[in-house]
Amino acid sequence: MGTENIYLITVWIILANICAAFSTTSEPTIFGNNNSTKWLEDYTDIVTKFSLRTAEVPDDDLCYIVPGQQLTIPECEFNPETQTFVVIHGWTVTGLFESWVPKLVTALYEREPKANVIVVDWLTRAQQHYSTSAGYTKLVGKDVAKFVNWLQKTLDYPWEKIHLLGYSLGAHVAGIAGFLTDHKVNRITGLDPAGPTFEYADAHSTLSPDDALFVDVLHTNTRGSPDRSIGIQRPVGHVDIYPNGGTFQPGCDLQNTMKMIALTGIHNMDQIVKCSHERSIHLFIDSLVNGQDHQSMAYRCSSKEAFMKGMCLNCRKNRCNKVGYNVVAVRLPRSTKMFLKTREMMPFKLFHFQVKIHFFSSEKLSYTEQPMKISLYGTHDEKTDIPYIMPQLNSNSTVSFLLTTEVDIGELLMVKLRWEKDAYFSWSDWWGNSNFHIRKIRIKAGETQSKGIFSAKDGEFAYLVRGKDDAVFVKSKEDNLSRKEKTMHRLKMHGSHFTQSTE
Protein backbone atom coordinates (compact mmCIF):
# COMPACT_ATOMS: atom_id res chain seq x y z
CA MET A 1 0.00 0.00 0.00
CA GLY A 2 1.25 3.45 -0.89
CA THR A 3 -0.32 5.31 2.01
CA GLU A 4 2.23 4.08 4.51
CA ASN A 5 5.07 5.42 2.39
CA ILE A 6 3.35 8.74 2.01
CA TYR A 7 2.77 8.86 5.73
CA LEU A 8 6.43 8.19 6.43
CA ILE A 9 7.53 10.76 3.88
CA THR A 10 5.28 13.35 5.48
CA VAL A 11 6.64 12.52 8.91
CA TRP A 12 10.13 12.74 7.51
CA ILE A 13 9.51 16.16 5.95
CA ILE A 14 8.12 17.48 9.19
CA LEU A 15 10.94 16.06 11.26
CA ALA A 16 13.52 17.32 8.78
CA ASN A 17 12.06 20.78 9.09
CA ILE A 18 12.05 20.62 12.85
CA CYS A 19 15.59 19.30 13.04
CA ALA A 20 16.78 21.97 10.64
CA ALA A 21 15.55 24.48 13.18
CA PHE A 22 18.53 23.64 15.36
CA SER A 23 21.06 24.58 12.77
CA THR A 24 20.05 28.24 12.79
CA THR A 25 21.84 30.73 14.92
CA SER A 26 20.20 33.48 16.91
CA GLU A 27 17.64 35.74 15.31
CA PRO A 28 18.38 39.44 14.95
CA THR A 29 17.10 41.08 18.08
CA ILE A 30 14.15 43.35 17.60
CA PHE A 31 13.57 44.24 21.20
CA GLY A 32 15.93 47.03 22.02
CA ASN A 33 16.42 48.18 25.57
CA ASN A 34 14.36 51.28 24.89
CA ASN A 35 11.37 52.40 26.81
CA SER A 36 9.62 54.10 23.96
CA THR A 37 6.28 52.77 22.76
CA LYS A 38 6.20 55.03 19.68
CA TRP A 39 6.97 52.05 17.44
CA LEU A 40 3.63 50.60 18.54
CA GLU A 41 1.92 53.34 16.58
CA ASP A 42 3.72 52.78 13.31
CA TYR A 43 1.30 50.73 11.24
CA THR A 44 3.14 51.00 7.92
CA ASP A 45 5.17 47.81 8.25
CA ILE A 46 2.36 45.47 9.34
CA VAL A 47 2.19 42.40 7.15
CA THR A 48 -0.21 40.34 9.26
CA LYS A 49 -3.92 40.47 8.50
CA PHE A 50 -6.80 40.54 10.98
CA SER A 51 -10.07 39.08 9.81
CA LEU A 52 -13.26 39.44 11.80
CA ARG A 53 -15.01 36.18 11.11
CA THR A 54 -18.71 35.65 11.68
CA ALA A 55 -20.77 32.80 13.06
CA GLU A 56 -22.52 32.58 9.68
CA VAL A 57 -19.33 32.33 7.64
CA PRO A 58 -16.71 30.92 10.02
CA ASP A 59 -14.50 29.59 7.24
CA ASP A 60 -13.90 32.64 5.09
CA ASP A 61 -12.28 36.05 5.46
CA LEU A 62 -14.89 38.57 4.40
CA CYS A 63 -13.74 41.64 6.32
CA TYR A 64 -10.32 42.75 7.52
CA ILE A 65 -9.79 45.22 10.33
CA VAL A 66 -6.74 47.26 9.34
CA PRO A 67 -4.68 48.94 12.07
CA GLY A 68 -4.63 52.69 11.47
CA GLN A 69 -7.82 52.61 9.40
CA GLN A 70 -10.49 53.37 11.91
CA LEU A 71 -13.39 52.95 9.50
CA THR A 72 -12.63 49.26 9.08
CA ILE A 73 -13.83 48.71 12.66
CA PRO A 74 -17.49 49.58 12.01
CA GLU A 75 -17.26 48.22 8.48
CA CYS A 76 -16.50 44.78 9.87
CA GLU A 77 -19.23 45.28 12.47
CA PHE A 78 -16.86 44.91 15.40
CA ASN A 79 -18.95 45.00 18.56
CA PRO A 80 -17.18 47.23 21.12
CA GLU A 81 -19.56 46.12 23.88
CA THR A 82 -18.45 42.51 24.06
CA GLN A 83 -15.35 40.42 24.42
CA THR A 84 -12.84 39.68 21.67
CA PHE A 85 -11.03 36.46 20.84
CA VAL A 86 -7.91 36.68 18.71
CA VAL A 87 -7.07 33.30 17.16
CA ILE A 88 -3.48 32.79 15.98
CA HIS A 89 -2.47 29.83 13.82
CA GLY A 90 0.89 28.09 13.73
CA TRP A 91 3.35 26.78 11.21
CA THR A 92 1.73 25.48 8.01
CA VAL A 93 2.93 23.12 5.31
CA THR A 94 0.20 24.02 2.84
CA GLY A 95 0.03 27.78 3.31
CA LEU A 96 -3.70 27.45 3.92
CA PHE A 97 -5.76 27.72 7.08
CA GLU A 98 -6.11 24.31 8.64
CA SER A 99 -9.54 22.80 9.14
CA TRP A 100 -9.53 23.48 12.89
CA VAL A 101 -9.76 27.26 12.35
CA PRO A 102 -13.46 27.41 11.35
CA LYS A 103 -14.22 24.75 13.97
CA LEU A 104 -12.73 26.88 16.73
CA VAL A 105 -14.43 30.03 15.38
CA THR A 106 -17.79 28.24 15.35
CA ALA A 107 -17.30 26.88 18.87
CA LEU A 108 -16.34 30.33 20.20
CA TYR A 109 -19.48 31.84 18.69
CA GLU A 110 -21.59 28.96 19.93
CA ARG A 111 -20.42 29.70 23.45
CA GLU A 112 -20.27 33.52 23.20
CA PRO A 113 -22.65 34.49 20.38
CA LYS A 114 -22.05 38.23 20.71
CA ALA A 115 -18.28 38.10 20.86
CA ASN A 116 -15.82 39.25 18.18
CA VAL A 117 -13.72 36.39 16.83
CA ILE A 118 -10.70 37.67 14.95
CA VAL A 119 -8.51 35.28 12.98
CA VAL A 120 -4.92 36.37 12.53
CA ASP A 121 -3.49 35.58 9.09
CA TRP A 122 0.29 35.25 8.96
CA LEU A 123 0.19 32.36 6.51
CA THR A 124 2.93 33.61 4.18
CA ARG A 125 5.42 33.85 7.05
CA ALA A 126 4.14 30.59 8.56
CA GLN A 127 4.70 28.64 5.36
CA GLN A 128 8.51 28.93 5.40
CA HIS A 129 11.10 26.50 6.59
CA TYR A 130 10.21 25.78 10.24
CA SER A 131 13.15 27.73 11.66
CA THR A 132 12.36 30.75 9.47
CA SER A 133 8.73 30.74 10.54
CA ALA A 134 9.80 30.30 14.17
CA GLY A 135 11.96 33.40 13.82
CA TYR A 136 9.02 35.32 12.34
CA THR A 137 7.02 34.88 15.56
CA LYS A 138 8.70 38.06 16.86
CA LEU A 139 7.59 40.15 13.90
CA VAL A 140 4.11 38.66 13.92
CA GLY A 141 3.92 39.21 17.68
CA LYS A 142 4.78 42.87 17.08
CA ASP A 143 2.05 43.11 14.43
CA VAL A 144 -0.50 41.59 16.80
CA ALA A 145 0.61 43.90 19.62
CA LYS A 146 0.16 46.93 17.35
CA PHE A 147 -3.25 45.74 16.26
CA VAL A 148 -4.49 45.09 19.79
CA ASN A 149 -2.99 48.32 21.11
CA TRP A 150 -4.55 50.34 18.30
CA LEU A 151 -7.96 48.73 18.69
CA GLN A 152 -7.87 49.36 22.43
CA LYS A 153 -6.79 53.01 22.04
CA THR A 154 -9.23 53.73 19.23
CA LEU A 155 -12.29 52.42 21.05
CA ASP A 156 -11.11 52.86 24.61
CA TYR A 157 -11.79 49.15 24.65
CA PRO A 158 -11.32 47.36 27.99
CA TRP A 159 -8.16 45.26 28.21
CA GLU A 160 -10.10 42.74 30.32
CA LYS A 161 -12.13 41.80 27.25
CA ILE A 162 -9.16 40.65 25.20
CA HIS A 163 -8.32 36.96 25.00
CA LEU A 164 -5.56 35.75 22.68
CA LEU A 165 -5.52 32.09 21.64
CA GLY A 166 -2.46 30.71 19.89
CA TYR A 167 -1.70 27.24 18.58
CA SER A 168 1.83 25.89 18.20
CA LEU A 169 4.02 28.77 16.93
CA GLY A 170 0.92 30.95 17.31
CA ALA A 171 1.12 30.47 21.09
CA HIS A 172 4.51 32.18 21.12
CA VAL A 173 3.17 34.90 18.81
CA ALA A 174 0.44 35.51 21.39
CA GLY A 175 3.04 35.61 24.17
CA ILE A 176 5.24 38.10 22.36
CA ALA A 177 2.21 40.24 21.50
CA GLY A 178 1.05 40.19 25.12
CA PHE A 179 4.51 41.17 26.28
CA LEU A 180 4.69 44.16 23.91
CA THR A 181 1.27 45.76 24.39
CA ASP A 182 1.42 48.69 26.79
CA HIS A 183 -1.01 47.01 29.16
CA LYS A 184 -1.60 43.35 29.89
CA VAL A 185 -4.38 41.61 28.01
CA ASN A 186 -6.77 39.61 30.12
CA ARG A 187 -5.89 36.12 29.01
CA ILE A 188 -3.71 34.11 26.70
CA THR A 189 -4.46 30.48 25.96
CA GLY A 190 -1.52 28.49 24.59
CA LEU A 191 -2.57 25.42 22.64
CA ASP A 192 0.41 23.05 22.59
CA PRO A 193 2.99 25.84 22.17
CA ALA A 194 5.74 24.81 19.75
CA GLY A 195 8.82 23.19 21.28
CA PRO A 196 11.69 23.36 18.77
CA THR A 197 13.82 26.51 19.26
CA PHE A 198 11.57 27.56 22.18
CA GLU A 199 12.21 24.95 24.88
CA TYR A 200 15.34 26.73 26.11
CA ALA A 201 14.55 30.24 24.87
CA ASP A 202 14.08 33.15 27.27
CA ALA A 203 10.69 34.34 28.47
CA HIS A 204 10.62 37.31 26.05
CA SER A 205 10.80 35.02 23.04
CA THR A 206 8.22 32.50 24.20
CA LEU A 207 4.87 32.42 25.85
CA SER A 208 5.34 33.09 29.57
CA PRO A 209 3.19 33.92 32.61
CA ASP A 210 4.12 37.62 32.33
CA ASP A 211 2.43 38.01 28.97
CA ALA A 212 -1.15 38.36 30.22
CA LEU A 213 -3.06 38.65 33.49
CA PHE A 214 -3.75 34.95 33.11
CA VAL A 215 -2.00 32.40 30.91
CA ASP A 216 -3.38 28.88 30.54
CA VAL A 217 -1.71 26.20 28.48
CA LEU A 218 -2.58 22.75 27.15
CA HIS A 219 0.40 20.48 26.38
CA THR A 220 -0.58 17.56 24.15
CA ASN A 221 2.43 16.47 22.08
CA THR A 222 5.57 16.58 24.19
CA ARG A 223 7.14 13.29 23.23
CA GLY A 224 10.87 12.64 23.09
CA SER A 225 13.85 14.54 24.37
CA PRO A 226 13.12 18.20 25.14
CA ASP A 227 14.92 19.51 22.06
CA ARG A 228 12.99 17.22 19.74
CA SER A 229 9.52 17.55 21.19
CA ILE A 230 6.92 19.14 18.88
CA GLY A 231 5.18 20.77 21.83
CA ILE A 232 7.09 22.66 24.51
CA GLN A 233 7.60 20.46 27.59
CA ARG A 234 8.19 22.98 30.36
CA PRO A 235 5.30 24.89 31.92
CA VAL A 236 4.95 28.36 30.38
CA GLY A 237 1.72 29.65 31.94
CA HIS A 238 -0.08 30.08 35.26
CA VAL A 239 -1.95 26.84 34.67
CA ASP A 240 -0.23 24.18 32.54
CA ILE A 241 -2.32 21.11 31.80
CA TYR A 242 -0.84 17.87 30.43
CA PRO A 243 -3.75 15.70 29.19
CA ASN A 244 -2.77 12.01 29.21
CA GLY A 245 0.65 12.98 30.49
CA GLY A 246 1.06 15.49 27.67
CA THR A 247 3.19 13.14 25.58
CA PHE A 248 0.73 11.88 23.03
CA GLN A 249 -3.01 11.48 22.85
CA PRO A 250 -5.37 8.48 22.73
CA GLY A 251 -6.61 7.74 19.21
CA CYS A 252 -3.42 9.20 17.73
CA ASP A 253 -1.35 6.03 17.46
CA LEU A 254 -0.07 4.86 14.09
CA GLN A 255 -2.72 2.16 13.73
CA ASN A 256 -5.48 4.65 14.26
CA THR A 257 -3.98 7.26 12.00
CA MET A 258 -3.56 4.68 9.23
CA LYS A 259 -7.22 3.81 9.57
CA MET A 260 -8.08 7.50 9.41
CA ILE A 261 -5.96 7.91 6.30
CA ALA A 262 -7.85 5.09 4.62
CA LEU A 263 -11.15 6.66 5.62
CA THR A 264 -10.50 10.31 4.92
CA GLY A 265 -8.04 10.27 2.07
CA ILE A 266 -4.60 11.69 1.64
CA HIS A 267 -5.49 15.37 1.67
CA ASN A 268 -5.83 15.16 5.44
CA MET A 269 -2.37 13.70 5.93
CA ASP A 270 -0.88 16.79 7.44
CA GLN A 271 -3.50 16.96 10.16
CA ILE A 272 -3.31 13.28 10.88
CA VAL A 273 0.43 13.45 11.43
CA LYS A 274 -0.19 16.26 13.88
CA CYS A 275 -3.02 14.45 15.66
CA SER A 276 -1.66 14.83 19.19
CA HIS A 277 -0.45 18.39 18.59
CA GLU A 278 -3.83 19.50 17.32
CA ARG A 279 -5.66 17.66 20.10
CA SER A 280 -5.00 20.73 22.25
CA ILE A 281 -7.39 22.69 20.05
CA HIS A 282 -10.07 20.02 20.10
CA LEU A 283 -9.87 19.79 23.88
CA PHE A 284 -10.44 23.55 24.00
CA ILE A 285 -13.35 23.30 21.53
CA ASP A 286 -14.75 20.50 23.70
CA SER A 287 -14.68 22.81 26.72
CA LEU A 288 -16.59 25.47 24.74
CA VAL A 289 -19.34 23.21 23.44
CA ASN A 290 -19.51 20.48 26.10
CA GLY A 291 -18.39 22.47 29.13
CA GLN A 292 -21.87 22.50 30.60
CA ASP A 293 -22.44 18.74 30.78
CA HIS A 294 -19.01 17.23 30.25
CA GLN A 295 -16.48 19.55 31.82
CA SER A 296 -13.11 17.82 32.09
CA MET A 297 -11.16 18.33 35.30
CA ALA A 298 -7.37 18.41 35.71
CA TYR A 299 -5.40 17.79 38.91
CA ARG A 300 -2.15 19.29 40.08
CA CYS A 301 0.54 16.66 40.51
CA SER A 302 4.29 16.49 40.96
CA SER A 303 4.66 13.92 38.19
CA LYS A 304 2.80 11.91 35.62
CA GLU A 305 3.83 8.75 37.51
CA ALA A 306 2.27 9.94 40.77
CA PHE A 307 -0.85 10.91 38.84
CA MET A 308 -1.09 7.43 37.31
CA LYS A 309 -1.03 6.01 40.86
CA GLY A 310 -4.13 8.07 41.54
CA MET A 311 -2.32 10.09 44.18
CA CYS A 312 -3.32 13.58 43.04
CA LEU A 313 -7.11 13.65 42.89
CA ASN A 314 -7.33 16.48 45.36
CA CYS A 315 -9.21 19.73 44.90
CA ARG A 316 -8.21 21.63 48.02
CA LYS A 317 -6.44 24.95 47.55
CA ASN A 318 -6.98 25.07 43.81
CA ARG A 319 -5.27 21.75 43.28
CA CYS A 320 -7.85 20.91 40.63
CA ASN A 321 -9.22 23.06 37.85
CA LYS A 322 -11.49 22.99 34.83
CA VAL A 323 -9.83 22.26 31.51
CA GLY A 324 -10.08 24.77 28.65
CA TYR A 325 -12.32 27.79 28.36
CA ASN A 326 -13.84 27.48 31.83
CA VAL A 327 -10.55 27.27 33.70
CA VAL A 328 -10.56 29.19 36.97
CA ALA A 329 -7.94 31.93 36.79
CA VAL A 330 -5.66 30.95 39.64
CA ARG A 331 -2.06 31.90 39.45
CA LEU A 332 -0.30 28.81 40.63
CA PRO A 333 3.33 28.83 41.59
CA ARG A 334 5.37 28.47 38.43
CA SER A 335 6.36 25.09 37.12
CA THR A 336 3.33 23.30 38.45
CA LYS A 337 1.78 20.76 36.17
CA MET A 338 -1.77 19.50 36.08
CA PHE A 339 -2.89 16.19 34.64
CA LEU A 340 -5.98 14.31 33.49
CA LYS A 341 -6.90 11.38 31.32
CA THR A 342 -9.26 11.80 28.40
CA ARG A 343 -11.26 9.76 25.92
CA GLU A 344 -10.02 9.54 22.35
CA MET A 345 -12.88 11.62 20.98
CA MET A 346 -15.29 14.34 21.94
CA PRO A 347 -16.63 14.66 24.58
CA PHE A 348 -13.19 13.96 26.02
CA LYS A 349 -14.23 13.85 29.67
CA LEU A 350 -13.38 10.90 31.88
CA PHE A 351 -14.13 10.36 35.58
CA HIS A 352 -11.05 9.68 37.71
CA PHE A 353 -10.77 7.34 40.71
CA GLN A 354 -7.96 6.43 43.02
CA VAL A 355 -8.18 2.80 44.11
CA LYS A 356 -6.16 1.67 47.12
CA ILE A 357 -5.98 -1.97 48.14
CA HIS A 358 -3.98 -3.82 50.77
CA PHE A 359 -3.25 -7.43 49.82
CA PHE A 360 -2.79 -9.91 52.68
CA SER A 361 -1.42 -13.39 52.30
CA SER A 362 0.04 -15.90 54.71
CA GLU A 363 2.57 -17.25 52.23
CA LYS A 364 5.09 -15.03 50.61
CA LEU A 365 3.79 -14.24 47.13
CA SER A 366 5.14 -11.89 44.53
CA TYR A 367 3.91 -11.20 41.01
CA THR A 368 4.37 -8.60 38.31
CA GLU A 369 2.11 -7.44 35.48
CA GLN A 370 -1.04 -9.17 36.69
CA PRO A 371 -4.24 -8.64 34.68
CA MET A 372 -7.15 -7.48 36.81
CA LYS A 373 -10.75 -6.55 36.02
CA ILE A 374 -12.50 -4.03 38.21
CA SER A 375 -16.21 -3.25 38.23
CA LEU A 376 -17.74 -0.14 39.80
CA TYR A 377 -21.43 0.10 40.68
CA GLY A 378 -22.92 3.46 41.62
CA THR A 379 -26.18 5.26 42.24
CA HIS A 380 -26.48 6.43 38.57
CA ASP A 381 -24.73 3.80 36.55
CA GLU A 382 -22.09 1.11 36.52
CA LYS A 383 -18.93 0.28 34.67
CA THR A 384 -17.93 -3.37 34.62
CA ASP A 385 -14.68 -5.15 33.85
CA ILE A 386 -12.36 -2.18 33.57
CA PRO A 387 -9.03 -3.77 32.71
CA TYR A 388 -5.98 -2.92 34.78
CA ILE A 389 -2.54 -4.51 34.63
CA MET A 390 -1.15 -4.44 38.15
CA PRO A 391 2.60 -3.81 37.87
CA GLN A 392 3.44 -5.31 41.29
CA LEU A 393 1.43 -7.65 43.46
CA ASN A 394 3.12 -8.74 46.71
CA SER A 395 2.10 -10.20 50.06
CA ASN A 396 1.12 -7.72 52.71
CA SER A 397 1.54 -4.68 50.54
CA THR A 398 -0.64 -1.80 49.43
CA VAL A 399 -1.17 -0.72 45.86
CA SER A 400 -2.66 2.53 44.64
CA PHE A 401 -3.69 3.19 41.06
CA LEU A 402 -5.78 5.42 38.84
CA LEU A 403 -8.95 4.13 37.24
CA THR A 404 -11.19 6.03 34.82
CA THR A 405 -14.73 5.63 33.55
CA GLU A 406 -16.53 7.32 30.68
CA VAL A 407 -19.86 7.12 32.46
CA ASP A 408 -20.89 9.08 35.52
CA ILE A 409 -21.63 6.29 37.97
CA GLY A 410 -22.78 8.67 40.72
CA GLU A 411 -21.95 7.76 44.30
CA LEU A 412 -20.14 4.43 44.44
CA LEU A 413 -21.96 1.60 46.19
CA MET A 414 -20.14 -1.60 45.28
CA VAL A 415 -16.79 -2.68 43.85
CA LYS A 416 -15.77 -6.01 42.34
CA LEU A 417 -12.25 -7.17 41.68
CA ARG A 418 -11.24 -10.15 39.57
CA TRP A 419 -7.78 -11.60 38.98
CA GLU A 420 -7.55 -12.93 35.44
CA LYS A 421 -5.59 -16.04 34.55
CA ASP A 422 -2.26 -15.52 32.89
CA ALA A 423 -2.21 -16.43 29.23
CA TYR A 424 0.40 -19.11 29.89
CA PHE A 425 0.79 -21.95 32.36
CA SER A 426 2.13 -20.86 35.69
CA TRP A 427 3.85 -23.04 38.31
CA SER A 428 2.11 -21.28 41.14
CA ASP A 429 -1.25 -22.39 39.71
CA TRP A 430 -0.01 -25.93 39.71
CA TRP A 431 1.29 -25.80 43.29
CA GLY A 432 -1.96 -24.43 44.60
CA ASN A 433 -4.20 -21.43 44.47
CA SER A 434 -2.51 -18.08 44.29
CA ASN A 435 -4.53 -16.44 46.93
CA PHE A 436 -4.67 -13.04 48.54
CA HIS A 437 -7.22 -11.78 50.98
CA ILE A 438 -8.48 -8.25 51.13
CA ARG A 439 -10.28 -6.56 53.99
CA LYS A 440 -11.26 -3.34 52.27
CA ILE A 441 -10.77 -1.17 49.24
CA ARG A 442 -10.48 2.60 49.53
CA ILE A 443 -11.70 4.67 46.61
CA LYS A 444 -11.47 8.40 46.09
CA ALA A 445 -13.40 10.03 43.24
CA GLY A 446 -11.75 13.06 41.68
CA GLU A 447 -14.83 14.61 40.13
CA THR A 448 -17.06 14.37 43.21
CA GLN A 449 -14.23 14.50 45.77
CA SER A 450 -16.00 11.78 47.72
CA LYS A 451 -14.03 9.11 49.52
CA GLY A 452 -15.35 5.70 50.33
CA ILE A 453 -14.30 2.57 52.14
CA PHE A 454 -15.61 -0.68 50.69
CA SER A 455 -15.52 -3.74 52.92
CA ALA A 456 -15.67 -7.39 52.00
CA LYS A 457 -19.30 -8.25 51.38
CA ASP A 458 -19.19 -11.59 53.18
CA GLY A 459 -17.07 -11.93 56.28
CA GLU A 460 -14.01 -10.02 57.33
CA PHE A 461 -12.02 -10.76 54.17
CA ALA A 462 -12.75 -11.24 50.51
CA TYR A 463 -10.59 -13.77 48.70
CA LEU A 464 -8.83 -12.97 45.50
CA VAL A 465 -7.86 -16.11 43.65
CA ARG A 466 -6.32 -16.11 40.22
CA GLY A 467 -8.77 -17.21 37.53
CA LYS A 468 -11.62 -17.45 40.01
CA ASP A 469 -14.70 -15.38 40.93
CA ASP A 470 -14.90 -11.69 41.68
CA ALA A 471 -14.07 -10.47 45.16
CA VAL A 472 -17.00 -8.27 46.14
CA PHE A 473 -16.90 -5.16 48.34
CA VAL A 474 -19.75 -2.95 49.49
CA LYS A 475 -19.94 0.53 50.89
CA SER A 476 -18.68 0.29 54.43
CA LYS A 477 -20.44 1.20 57.65
CA GLU A 478 -17.20 2.80 58.80
CA ASP A 479 -17.95 5.35 56.20
CA ASN A 480 -20.80 6.90 58.17
CA LEU A 481 -18.41 8.24 60.74
CA SER A 482 -16.86 10.54 58.26
CA ARG A 483 -20.04 11.72 56.59
CA LYS A 484 -20.10 15.05 58.39
CA GLU A 485 -16.42 15.47 57.75
CA LYS A 486 -16.99 14.79 54.07
CA THR A 487 -19.72 17.42 53.83
CA MET A 488 -17.50 19.96 55.50
CA HIS A 489 -14.72 19.06 53.14
CA ARG A 490 -16.92 19.41 50.09
CA LEU A 491 -18.14 22.83 51.27
CA LYS A 492 -14.60 23.98 51.72
CA MET A 493 -13.61 22.61 48.34
CA HIS A 494 -16.52 24.35 46.69
CA GLY A 495 -15.74 27.59 48.38
CA SER A 496 -12.14 27.69 47.31
CA HIS A 497 -12.97 26.46 43.87
CA PHE A 498 -15.37 29.20 42.97
CA THR A 499 -13.62 32.08 44.62
CA GLN A 500 -10.93 33.32 42.33
CA SER A 501 -7.68 33.64 44.08
CA THR A 502 -5.91 36.88 43.45
CA GLU A 503 -2.50 35.66 44.38
Ligand X SMILES: *[C@@H]1O[C@H](CO)[C@@H](O)[C@H](O)[C@H]1NC(C)=O
From the CA atom positions of the chain, what is the Rg in Å? 26
Q: Report CA dihedral (215, 308, 440, 479) to the nearest 10 degrees.
A: 0
CA angle (40 as vertex; 132, 162 as ends), nearest 5: 85
CA angle (86 as vertex; 82, 92 as ends), nearest 5: 160
Q: Catalytic annotation on 494?
A: no
* Residue 380 touching ligand X (CB under 6 A): no
In the complex with ligand X, the residue whose CB is nearer, 22 or 31, is 31
* Residue 25 touching ligand X (CB under 6 A): no
We find the least distance from the C-beta atom of residue 211 to ligand X, in angstroms, to be 14
Task: Indicate the DSSP class of residue 302.
Answer: S
Q: Residues 454 to 483: which contact ligand X by CB under 6 A?
A: 477, 480
* Residue 395 touching ligand X (CB under 6 A): yes
Residue 60 counted as an annotated binding residue: no
Contact (CB, 8 A) for 230 and 18: yes
* Residue 26 touching ligand X (CB under 6 A): no
Which one of the spans 129-137, 341-349, 360-368, 485-493 is the region binding ligand X (CB under 6 A)?
360-368
* Residue 36 touching ligand X (CB under 6 A): yes
In the complex with ligand X, the residue whose CB is nearer, 268 or 395, is 395
Return d(Cα 161, Cα 114) in angstroms, integer: 12
* Residue 113 touching ligand X (CB under 6 A): no
Q: Residues 396 to 455: which contact ligand X by CB under 6 A?
A: 396
We find the least distance from the C-beta atom of residue 222 to ligand X, in angstroms, to be 30
Count CA within 13 A, CB hemisphere, residue 20: 14
Paired residues of 390 in beta bridges: 370
Amino acid at 207: L
- When binding is defined by CB under 6 A, the residue of 64, 360, 461, 463 that contacts ligand X is 360
Contact (CB, 8 A) for 441 and 473: yes
We find the least distance from the C-beta atom of residue 453 to ligand X, in angstroms, to be 12
The three-class DSSP label of residue 239 is strand
* Residue 44 touching ligand X (CB under 6 A): no
| Residues in Cβ contact with 144 at an 8 Å cutoff, skipping those fewer than 6 apart | 48, 86, 88, 120, 164, 173, 174, 176, 177
* Residue 32 touching ligand X (CB under 6 A): yes
We find the least distance from the C-beta atom of residue 35 to ligand X, in angstroms, to be 4
Q: Catalytic annotation on 277?
A: yes
Contact (CB, 8 A) for 84 and 165: no
- When binding is defined by CB under 6 A, the residue of 23, 263, 335, 364 that contacts ligand X is 364
Q: Which of 192, 216, 240, 286 is catalytic?
A: 192
Which one of the spans 45-53, 104-112, 357-365, 403-411 is the region binding ligand X (CB under 6 A)?
357-365
In the complex with ligand X, the residue whose CB is nearer, 429 or 478, is 478
Contact (CB, 8 A) for 377 and 412: yes
We find the least distance from the C-beta atom of residue 378 to ligand X, in angstroms, to be 15
Q: Catalytic annotation on 168?
A: yes
In the complex with ligand X, the residue whose CB is nearer, 36 or 292, is 36
Return d(Cα 232, Cα 479) in angstroms, integer: 44
* Residue 484 touching ligand X (CB under 6 A): no
Return d(Cα 128, Cα 144) in angstroms, integer: 19
- Interface with ligand X: number of residues (CB under 6 A): 15
- When binding is defined by CB under 6 A, the residue of 5, 23, 34, 44 that contacts ligand X is 34
Distances, alpha carbon 142 to alpha carbons 90, 148, 185, 488, in Å: 16, 10, 14, 50
**Binding-site residue ranges:** 211
The catalytic residue positions are 168, 192, 277
Annotated binding-site residues for Ca(2+) read: 211
Q: Which residues bind ligand X (CB under 6 A)?
A: 30-32, 34-36, 39, 360-362, 364, 395-396, 477, 480
